[in-house]
Amino acid sequence: MSLDPQTTRQRVCILGATGSVGTSTLDVIARHPQRFEVFALTAHSRIDELFAQCLQWRPRYAAMPNADHAQQLRERLRAEGVATEV
């Protein structure tokens, strides 16, 4: 069974989205938006960077290991009307 590249986008979860590999991966996805959908993003502690990525990519999920950081991210996204679940 083959997937039609015109109608099917691959969902991508990026662990460490704010690091060098994560940002490089997002650069590749930006060049191929018809092929990929950013489904989830994670970051260890860079709240501002993950917030900006969520604004740009609108993933379904975002995660941070620190509960306080996750709450800050959740509140900032809600204030912007972004539906990403943290």
DSSP for the chain, written as a single string: ----TTT--EEEEETTTTSHHHHHHHHHHHH-TTTEEEEEEE-SS-HHHHHHHHHHH--SEEE-SSHHHHHHHHHHHHHTT---B-
Q: What is the pLDDT of residue 1?
A: 45
Q: What is the pLDDT of residue 82?
A: 98
Give me the mean pLDDT over the 6-21 stretch: 93
Q: What are the structure tokens assigned to 16, written together? A: 């460490």
According to CATH, what is the number of the domain 10-79?
3.40.50.720
Residue of 39 and 6 predicted with greater confidence: 39
pTM for the full predicted model: 0.89
In the structure, what pLDDT confidence band is assigned to residue 6 with cuts at 50, 70 and 90?
Answer: low
Q: Which is it for the CA torsion 41, 46, 49, 54, positive or negative? A: positive
